[in-house]
Chain A
Amino acid sequence: GENVEQHPSTLSVQEGDSAVIKCTYSDSASNYFPWYKQELGKRPQLIIDIRSNVGEKKDQRIAVTLNKTAKHFSLHITETQPEDSAVYFCAASKGAGKSTFGDGTTLTVKP
C-alpha cells in the first residue's frame, strides 16, 4: 500500500519567516495530494491541494509543489503568523477520497 513520509516532525520559525514541510509518497498511482491544518482538539481542515497534472499551486501565503518523478511534494508558507501555529498533515490519494496521511508536522510560529 501507499506509504507517506513527512518531515520535519516539528518546526519552529520566527514570525514573518517562511516554513517548508516536505512529504514523499511511494505509490506512483497516487494522483491527489491534500494538505490539512489541525489545531489542538479540532478537526483537520483542508488548506490546499494539488493534483498530479499540476506542478505548483498557490493560494495567498500558501503554496504547494509536486515532483511526480521524485514522488515528493512540499508545503510552503510565507510570511508566517502566530495563527499559523498548528499541526500540518500531508496526504496522498488515488482518488475516491481514501487517503494515506503523513505523521504530521507541529509548526510553531514565535511572535
Chain B
Amino acid sequence: GAVVSQHPSRVICKSGTSVKIECRSLDFQATTMFWYRQFPKQSLMLMATSNEGSKATYEQGVEKDKFLINHASLTLSTLTVTSAHPEDSSFYICSANRGRGGETQYFGPGTRLLVL
C-alpha cells in the first residue's frame, strides 16, 4: 500500500506556456501533500505544502502566483507552473502523508520538466 503516482513523468514545453502536474495517492487518502523541486545531484527543496480544501502554504522564496497548487480532493493535488521559462526546468516530486498527522512521506515518481 501507500502508492503515489505523478503525471506526466516528463514534459517538454515552450517558454511561456503553462504546465500542470498531477499527484495522486492511489490507495489512501492524503490530507496533506508536499511539492518538491530537485536539481541534478542536489537535495529535495520543499516548495509548498498542499492541504486538502484550503490554500497551500508556500516556502520562503517560492512564488505562489508562479507555482499554483490545488488540492481539491483527498487523493489529488496539482501543481501548475505558469508561464514556464527555461530556469523552471527541473525534477518536480510530490509526496503524501498517509492519514492525518502521518509522519512517513510517500513520494511520487517525479516529473521531469524541460522548458525550451
Contact = CB atoms under 8 A, between A and B. Distances in A.
Interface stretch (A54-62, A67-75, A78-86, A95-103): A95-103
- Residue of A89, A93, A96, A104 with most partner-chain B CB within 10 A: A96
A100 B97 CA distance: 15
B42 A96 contact: no
B43 interface: yes
Given A43-B93, A43-B110, A104 B42 contact: yes
B43 A44 contact: no
B107 A44 contact: yes
A34 B97 CA distance: 13
Contacts of B25: none
A95 B42 contact: no
Interface in B78-116: 93, 95, 97, 101-110
A103 B34 CA distance: 18
- Residue of A49, A98, A101, A106 with most partner-chain B CB within 10 A: A98
Contacts of A32: 103
Interface residues of A, number: 23
A97 B43 contact: no
Contacts of B103: 32, 34, 49, 93, 95-97
B101 A89 contact: no
Contacts of A106: 41
B46 interface: yes
Contacts of B95: 97
A96 B32 contact: yes
Contacts of B105: 34, 46, 97, 99
Interface of A: 32, 34, 36, 41-46, 49, 89, 93, 95-104, 106
Interface of B: 32, 34, 41-44, 46, 49, 93, 95, 97, 101-110
